[in-house]
Amino acid sequence: MQEQDSTATAAEPPQTDIYCEHLKKCLMNICRVIQNTNDILCNISHPSVCSEVLLSSRGTDYISEVLEVYRISKRIEGGMRALRVSDDSLWLMLRDIELLWNNLQAFLSLCPYVLQRLPPLSFPVCKSDSRLSDSIQCLQRCCGVCLLGERQDEAGSRDGMLMYRENLYHITCANFWINCVDLNLPVLHCPKICSLCVPEEIQAAQDPTKDI
């Protein structure tokens, strides 16, 4: 991060702190979900019973949901690269998630059929956006959960986004948040120094639907 004008931003926490605290919460819960699934499968003593559980339609649906949660961690990774987040603890958490996922895949390899039925494991390729300044990305143009900008997600058409109360979210990110983290979707505000956010009063004045 570039040094910011301390007089103008004294009351605002640095933007990286806002990002990091939020991402930590996301990654902790992603870890928990994948860990729980590993624990459940680990506690099934017979591989044949494990296969049976995985092959049931509920089992397959459950694994598909866990896969979606894992995909969010890959989007977060893309967002972290775009935001140039250097917090070591976050990168360590991503590594833990990767290890947990590898472990889970070992269970899934018992059931090639389940692996075949899972949606393809494609991940967003993070594109850098020349319109963004070096160190600041506007939070209002990112998914409110994974913080990946809508234009940075090449797989965006597959992972649809929705607008809720003027904030953007990937549908799968919003589902994850509501089911695994909190009933209220997160709303992160840019610090006042963000020049990309259009102040609300200007937005309202420009809104052509306002008087309809």
Name the residues that contact Zn ion, by CB under 5 A. Answer: 138, 143, 145-146, 170, 173, 190, 194, 196-197
Cα–Cα distance, 37 to 44 (Å, whole number): 11
CB of 209 to Zn ion, least distance (A): 22
Tell me how far, at minimum, the Cβ of 75 lies from Zn ion, in Å: 5
Least distance between Zn ion and beta carbon 14 (Å): 14
> Could you tell me whether strands 161-164 and 167-170 are parallel, antiparallel, or unpaired per DSSP bridges?
antiparallel
The minimum distance between CB 180 and Zn ion, in angstroms, equals 14
**Strand, coil or helix: 186:** coil
The answer to whether 23 touches 81, Cβ cutoff 8 Å, is: no
User: Which CB atom, from 118 or from 197, has the smaller least distance to Zn ion?
Assistant: 197
Instruction: Specify the residue, 117 or 158, whose C-beta has the smaller distance to Zn ion.
Output: 158
Nearer to Zn ion, 30 or 146 (CB): 146
Nearer to Zn ion, 100 or 146 (CB): 146
Joined tokens for residue 105? 């895949």
DSSP label of 142: B
What is d(CA 175, CA 179) in angstroms, rounded to the nearest whole number?
A: 6
Instruction: Output 92 or 198, the one with its CB closest to Zn ion.
Output: 198
Buried/exposed code over 152-181 (b: 16+ C-beta within 10 A; e: otherwise)? bbeebeebebeeeeebbbbebbbbbbeebb
Question: Smallest distance, Å, CB 184 to Zn ion?
Answer: 16
